[in-house]
Amino acid sequence: MVPDEPGPDAGNRWSRAADRWLPTRAGRRTNLGLLGLLLIAGGTGVLGFAVGTPTAGRVIAVAHGAAGLGLLLLLPWKAVVVRRARRRPASRRAPSAAYWLTGLVAVVLVSGVLHSAGAAGVWATSGTPIAALQVHVGATIVLVFVLGVHVWGRRQRPRVADLDRRVLLRTGVLAAGSLALWVAGEAVWRATGTPGADRRGTGSLERGTDEPDAMPVTQWAGDTVPQSAGTVVEVVAGGRREQVPVADLDGRDTARALLDCTGGWYATQDWAGTTLARLLTDRFGADVLADPGHSIEVTSVTGYRRRFPVRDAHTTLLATSAAGEPLSVGHGAPVRLVAPGRRGVWWVKWVTRVELVESPWWLQPPFPLQ
């Protein structure tokens, strides 16, 4: 007996199984859902670098993790979209950016999960350990550009009909499912005793509390450890300036503060030095901080700088030591800023200048541009 002539998909067992188990309908709203989750994950990821307070940081970290894991829930529907696209003539198929995008999303998700689990790092081919969070952030930066190429010119834009009751209900189900995935992941880390179970609300892992030498040495983006950081700090206010020897800052004030680094780790130390309030008022009078519209700009010898509201002057410290030991060069010696309640991106190292400026503190880039 001669078998029937096979159709285009005959013999392809995977294809037949996919037809059986995958959803029957998917398209524009699936892509919009994926784009929305990517934007939420990316936006909360950026915001997380700036927020260091426990409650706000926790909310942002949960939203970031849930949005990322939520991408997995839409995979069956996206698979339908991809299969449909593959059946089109080659001239009408999606550009290669779509495949790069898929690979990058996978790298971002896997590296994010590894960091959440508390992985110390992944190993590069050179044998140099690279933190999982570094891979996560680096892949995300590339992903942003590839996503822009992929989305550009596509007409899958929101419509008024997308706000109907059924769509809003599905959106709520997606949000609940995403949050459930995040909660399940946290439960797994606690049940298995992985280091990720002890992450701070911001997602950072403990490294070197009360042991400054055990803290990782990290810098923001292109900032580098200088060969020489000088021995004086220039203090400027109202056109007047003074050169303050670093030795004069030693141990006048103390603070036990938590450094939550944007590199994915945190440590609590007993810092000693001089508050910005004491530094400025001792030299320029008690009224120098009276105008709330002014701000205090702290600058590193490398050019790295951050501005702070004058209300923070009494709690922000120019530190020269941690846990009773002088700072190491990698951790900002001879003097660094200690900014309680702010992420490590605000903790300026190798401070060389403190200036009272007649501009509000928020009138600056959200992150240093150096």
The mean pLDDT of 330-349, rounded to a whole number, is: 94
Helix (H, G, I), strand (E, B) or coil at 358: coil
pLDDT of 8 above 50 = no
Instruction: Indicate if the pLDDT at residue 23 is higher than 70.
Output: no
- Whether the predicted pLDDT of 119 surpasses 90: no
Residue 21 DSSP code = H
HEC-encoded secondary structure of 197-251: HHCCCCCCEECCCCCHHHCCCCCCCCCCCCCCCCCEEEEEECCEEEEEEHHHHCC
Q: Which range, of 66-70, 118-122, 226-230, 288-292, averages the lowest pLDDT?
A: 118-122
Count of C-beta atoms within a 10 Å radius of residue 165: 7
Across the chain, mean pLDDT equals: 83
Q: What is the pTM assigned to this prediction?
A: 0.78
Average of pLDDT values for 114-122? Answer: 77
Token pair recorded at residue 156: 């899958």
Q: Is the pLDDT of residue 277 over 70?
A: yes
The string over 202-240, giving b where at least 16 C-beta atoms fall within 10 Å of a residue's C-beta and e elsewhere, is bbbbebbeeebeebeebebeebebeeebbebbebbbeee
Q: Which residues contact 197 (CB under 8 A, 6 or more apart)?
A: 118, 186, 189, 190
pLDDT score at 165: 78
**Residue in this structure with the two tokens 């120019």, named with its chain if needed:** 318
Cα 48 from Cα 310, distance rounded (Å): 23
Q: Looking at 111-120, 163-172, 229-238, 284-293, which range is the least confident one?
A: 163-172
Neighbours of 29 (CB within 10 A): 19
pLDDT, mean of residues 137-163: 77
Give the H/E segment covering residue 163.
Answer: none
The mean per-residue pLDDT over the stretch 152-171 comes to 71
257-270 residue pLDDT tens: 999 998 888 999 99
- Burial of 62 per CB tally in 10 Å (0-12, 13-18, 19+): middle
Lowest mean pLDDT among 6-10, 28-32, 76-80, 320-324: 6-10
Would you give the end-to-end CA distance of the chain in angstroms?
76
Give the pLDDT confidence score for residue 66 in this predicted structure. Answer: 94
In this predicted structure, the answer to whether residue 123 has a pLDDT above a threshold of 70 is no
Question: Going by C-beta distance under 8 Å and a sequence separation of 6 or more, which residues neighbour residue 324?
Answer: 270, 272
**What is the C-alpha to C-alpha distance for residues 202 and 200, in angstroms, rounded to an integer?**
5
Residue burial 265-274, b: 16+ Cβ < 10 Å; e: rest:
bbbebebbbb
B/e letters for 354-363, b = 16+ CB within 10 Å, e = fewer, are: bbbeeeebee
| pLDDT grade for 12, boundaries at 50, 70 and 90 | low
CA dist 142 and 323 (Å) reads 39
From residue 368, alpha-carbon distances to 10, 77, 90, 264, 348 in Å are 58, 40, 45, 18, 10
Phi, psi of 10 (to 5 degrees): -65, 140
Which helix (H) or strand (E) segment holds residue 300: the answer is: strand 295-300
Q: Which domains does the chain have, with CATH numbers?
A: 13-205 (no CATH), 207-357 (3.90.420.10)
Q: Which range is most confident: 96-100, 218-222, 302-306?
A: 302-306
**Dist. CA 124–CA 133, nearest whole Å:** 14
